[in-house]
Amino acid sequence: MRGSVYYQSAQLAKQIFEAGAKKEDRINPNNPHFQKVASFKTMESYRNIWNNFFNYLQEHWSIKDFEKISAEHIAAYMDYKIEYYPSKQYLEKISAALGKLEIALKRFAKNIHGVEKEYDFSIRQTILDEARDLKYVVNNYHNRAYRKPELLIHNFKNPLHQLAAKIQHEGGARIEGVALIKTEQLLGTKQDNITNTQKGIIFTKEKGGKEGEVLVSLNTYNELQNYLLQNPKFKINRQAYYEDIKQAALLSNETPEASHGLRWNFAKRRMFEYAQAGYGYEESLQQVSYEMKHNRASITLHYL
């Protein structure tokens, strides 16, 4: 599909908006109004979310044709929003809007192109459920760092999950930065001038395409490198990873904080390391923010 963000969202809205459609028709799989939106106000709300999402895709992923949206983009956008602590109601509305977007895209492909096209945005519900269960919303804000992250990682059942957790804990990577890693992302080692130690470099793309280095211990780097010598890529299933974290947290007598908790541990430790290296507080905030692939120093305060 070609056109501006607003043109494309308008074309997709036409696929699912039916003013005044009865509820019994909208829940009947055999009715042409099945799964449609009947309220103009609701459709306008959903379309505003679509427009924000589409602008995000253009800025961070360079996607201009929104028929190319995949589950990866949905997951990245949900994580992007969660990191800024939305209200529970707003996150639920985002999830609902993306669910309607899935339906609209399927219908657009069938009605306009005459083809059946698969879109599966169910990951949005998984992420929403995790956010609600783990209270990743502003009215439930609390310290999410694990008390004993090393013990937590030790208690993982899956060794691949252990390795992913080490990378998150040591380097501050997001889940999308560890869910898939290829050999070409390993860039060797370098001196970490903050701790005066050698670190392994993993180049990741996170938060809607933001790229940068993740520094991990040599042991973790070598473990990943050895795995990639025997396998074409390092890949974990996100939902299985979440479940392993939950079980490991129970064994460790910790409150499950999903993988975000490991980033909190990283931020706290890294701030201390910058302080030991002689950096001032404001400068430390900014540098840690950059390492966590944020821009504003104030974001780091969320983790402290």
Indicate the domain borders of the chain.
5-140, 149-303
3-class state of residue 232 by DSSP:
coil
For the residues 176-187, what does the mean pLDDT come to?
92
Q: Which tens digit of pLDDT belongs to each residue from 252-272?
A: 998 877 787 898 899 889 999
CA distance 210 to 218: 24
Pair type for strands 180-182 and 233-235 = antiparallel
For the residues 238-252, what does the mean pLDDT come to?
89
What local confidence, expressed as pLDDT, does residue 84 receive?
64
Q: Which tens digit of pLDDT belongs to each residue from 112-149?
A: 888 888 899 998 988 888 777 655 554 444 567 889 99
Under a CB-based contact definition with an 8 Å cutoff, are residues 224 and 202 in contact? yes
Under a CB-based contact definition with an 8 Å cutoff, are residues 225 and 186 in contact? yes
Would you tell me which CATH number, out of the four given (1.10.443.10, 3.40.50.300, 1.20.1730.10, 3.40.50.360), belongs to the domain 149-303? Answer: 1.10.443.10
Query: Which of 31-35, 75-79, 150-154 reaches the highest mean pLDDT?
Result: 150-154
CA distance 263 to 281: 19
Under a CB-based contact definition with an 8 Å cutoff, are residues 240 and 253 in contact? no
